[in-house]
Structures are given as structure tokens and as C-alpha cells.
Amino acid sequence: MKYRRNEAKDYARENLKGIWAAALTPFKEDLSIDEAGYKSNLVHWFDDLAIDGAFISGKQGEFFSMSVPERKRTFEIAVDAAEGRGATIMSCSDQNMDVVLDLAKHSEAIGADYIVVHAPILHFVHDQDETLYQYYKHISEQVEIGIALWSHPDSGYLMSPELCARIAELPNIVAIKYSVPRPMYAKLTEIAGDTLIVSTASEEEWLDNIIELNWQVYLCSSPPYLIQTKWDRRMREYTDLAFAGEHARARAVRDSLNPVRQAMKSTRPADKPQASQKYWQELLGQAGGPVRRPMLPLTDAERAAIRAAFETCGLQHGPSAAAAE
């Protein structure tokens, strides 16, 4: 651990910054974890794409299909890959509190920077606020590591800004991935002040949130390594321009990525997010591989449509002719 519980907020305010990416977990054809491919992806993101941090084994990473030992192994691979390059936040989400705490303590033990814990499914509770406060309070008291909240509609409810701000009074609650409508996360940003670093998963809203809400971190989804390459780092570019106050230039660079965004959106089957993104990764030369059940694989027609969109979207995925000369 690089800090203690009562130092977590200050540490995060200083270090939880920039562009963070939610990792997909590459599997081999036998559905075992492709450990070499996973580490190669992470090193590429840190070294070539200048991504600041990686979000490990969340929903993008198919944690729901992995055993606890497998999840711990992905954490270890990520810490190893991030050494001297970037930072990590480990998804310890689970309905079982023992699993959450087991993963959280493992994260601490191996030197992860932060953990994130998804709000649990509570369809059997009508007024969730006190249950949720006590849920996060218990986790907070068991570990030293900085904790990010995560509220998303798939829990069956959304945590209110007021509840999030209350939970943020706990000493090692440092951030939130707040997958909610913009008015809700704007309100939380205002009322939480310096007690909570607020972010959401939308890359298309990221620039406006830097400019209008003074956000410091994109936490996080897969665009940082899907709409960027070693030769085309426009998300990094517009982010740095925005942080430097060059807003007009930042908007021009951001908007230039619209064909790439459209290519991905228009060819992504509604119920196959991991499969389509893994195939896009493969087209970029990264490790992707199959998905595990219950997720479904792409059909040949779906792969062909994605490949055609990729080849015409304008994302530079090799050295330019001028650079080659």
C-alpha cells in the first residue's frame, strides 16, 4: 500500500487522474485466460497509448464468468504490467460480501492502487439508502485501500447524489463511476466537492465534463484502447488540450473521432458488447479472443460488418507513409 486509510482521499486527488480504461479479459480458444496476451495489451495501453490507469475485471472484463482465483490472477497480471507505467483499480464487485472483501484484501496485498465495488442488486429492498450506506461502511472499515463506488442501472436502482455524498464522508471512499444521467452526476460533483472524485463511462461526454465540471479522471470504459493506436492518439491529445485550457482545439480533435465512434456503434450487435469489442481489439493487433458464456460470440456476418467498418473509419492503425519514409 502506498498510503493509509486516512490518506486515501488526498492520495487519490493527487494521483487518480487522466484516462483510465476498463480492460476486456482475453481468453484462449479453450477459454482459459490468455495471460501473455493480457499483459501485452496492458503494456501497450500504458506505453504506446499513454493510458494512465487500468480498471481490471469489471463487467467489460466478464468477471461474472470467472472464478475468484481467476479474478485474483488478473489483478496480479495487471499490477505486474503497470509497474513503472501506470496505475490499477481492481473490480471487487460481487453479491457475496466475503468475496468482495477477499478480493479487496488481495488487491491491497499485491500493491493495487484502488478498488471499485459495484452497488449490489437489491430488488428485494424498497428503500436502499441505509442498506447501501452500511454496505460501503463495512467494506471501508475492513480495508485501507481507496474505494470507488459504482452506480449503474443494472443494479435495479440508481444511488442518489445525496446518498453518494453521504457515503463519501467515509475516509477511504475516494471516487465514483457514476453511470447516470448528466444532471445527476453534475449535481453530485457540486455537492460532494473535494470528498469524492466523480466520473462516468461516456467518452463522448468526457471533454465537456473536463471543461464544464472540472473533472480530473475518465473512469472508464474501453474507448481509450479501441479508438486509439500507437500512431493515432487523438483521445489522449484532446484530453491534454482540454487540461491545458485549449478548449477549441480539444473539441476539434474530439469531433474528428466521430467516424470511428460511428463505425463501432453501427456494427456492434446490441447483446454482444464484449465479443464485438474483442474482435475490434484483434483488428488493432491486440489480444481479444472468444467470450465465455453466458455471452454470445459473433456470427461470421457480424465479424465481416465490423471489419469493413474498421477498415474505412479513418483510425490510423499503422505508420503513415510519411513516417515510414
Q: Residue with C-alpha cell 483510425?
A: 315
Asked whether the beta carbons of 166 and 196 are under 8 A apart, the reply is no
Residues in the chain where the model's pLDDT stays below 50: 321-325
Q: Where are the domains of the chain?
A: 5-227
Percent of the chain with pLDDT over 70: 98
Q: What is the pLDDT of residues 185-232, one digit of tens each?
A: 999 999 999 999 999 999 999 999 999 999 999 998 999 999 999 999
3-state secondary structure of 55: strand
Position 67 scores a pLDDT of 98
Q: Please give the backbone phi and psi of residue 259, each rounded to the nearest 5 degrees, phi first.
A: -60, -35
Position 125 scores a pLDDT of 86
Position 126 scores a pLDDT of 85
Distance CA 85, CA 87 (A): 7
Overall fold of domain 5-227:
TIM Barrel (3.20.20)
Residue-by-residue DSSP string for 271-315: T-HHHHHHHHHHHTTS---PPPTTS-PPPHHHHHHHHHHHHHS--
State the pTM of this model: 0.96
Amino acid residing at 295: M
Position 259 scores a pLDDT of 98
Give the helix ranges, DSSP H, for the chain. 8-15, 35-47, 68-82, 97-110, 129-142, 161-167, 182-192, 203-213, 223-226, 234-243, 247-256, 258-267, 273-283, 300-312, 321-324
Position 1 scores a pLDDT of 86
Position 48 scores a pLDDT of 98
Residue 74 grid coordinates: 488478473
- Is 270 exposed, middle or buried (CB count within 10 Å of its CB: 0-12, 13-18, 19+)? exposed
Position 321 scores a pLDDT of 46
Distance CA 271, CA 262 (A): 17
- In this structure, the strands spanning 114-118 and 87-91 are parallel
